């Protein structure tokens, strides 16, 4: 997970006073290169989580308008910031008892570029 932007001078900084700034086209090219390789790096890092058990905070159930037959709920591990990082998609439980605001232990069973997929092992 990474956010990127091109450099822009900030008044009062040493860098803003430097001559021979990198051309805007090169800045954009470098940013594009970074953002092109980032998804595969994120995916590889997420794959490293497969087989581990993580504590997950349930954020919301996927029912009603958000219904998804593949997942019961969405949550976050301690390393997944809300609206910034990926999430953990939670597979359906036998009793459908996942409650937003509660923590559950989840075995990570698969990975996507930005999200983890997990099976609840204890509620």
The per-residue pLDDT for range 3-51, each reduced to its tens digit, is 788 888 888 888 888 887 888 899 999 999 998 888 899 999 999 999 9
Whole-number pLDDT of residue 83: 80
Distance CA(99)–CA(109), nearest Å, equals 21
Model's pTM, two decimal places? 0.79
Whole-number pLDDT of residue 1: 64
How large is the average pLDDT for residues 95-120? 95
State pLDDT tens for residues 46-99.
999 999 999 999 999 998 888 888 999 999 999 998 888 899 999 999 888 899
Distance CA(32)–CA(35), nearest Å, equals 5
Whole-number pLDDT of residue 62: 92
- May I ask the CATH class of domain 47-122? mainly beta
Distance CA(111)–CA(26), nearest Å, equals 33
CB atoms under 10 Å from CB of 5, counted, come to 7
Across the chain, the runs of DSSP E, i.e. the strands, are 53-61, 73-76, 88-90, 103-111, 116-122
């Amino acid at each position: 997970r990474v956010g990127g932007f091109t450099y822009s001078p900030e008044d009062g900084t040493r860098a803003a006073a430097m001559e021979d700034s990198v051309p805007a086209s090169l800045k954009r090219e470098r940013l594009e290169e970074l953002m092109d390789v980032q998804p595969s790096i994120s995916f590889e890092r997420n794959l490293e989580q497969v087989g581990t058990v993580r504590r997950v905070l349930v954020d919301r159930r996927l029912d009603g308008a958000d219904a998804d037959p593949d997942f019961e709920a969405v949550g976050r591990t301690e390393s997944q910031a809300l609206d910034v990082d990926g999430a953990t998609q939670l597979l359906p439980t036998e009793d459908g008892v996942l409650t937003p605001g509660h923590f559950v232990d989840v075995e990570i069973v698969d990975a996507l570029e930005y999200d983890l997929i997990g099976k609840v092992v204890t509620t």
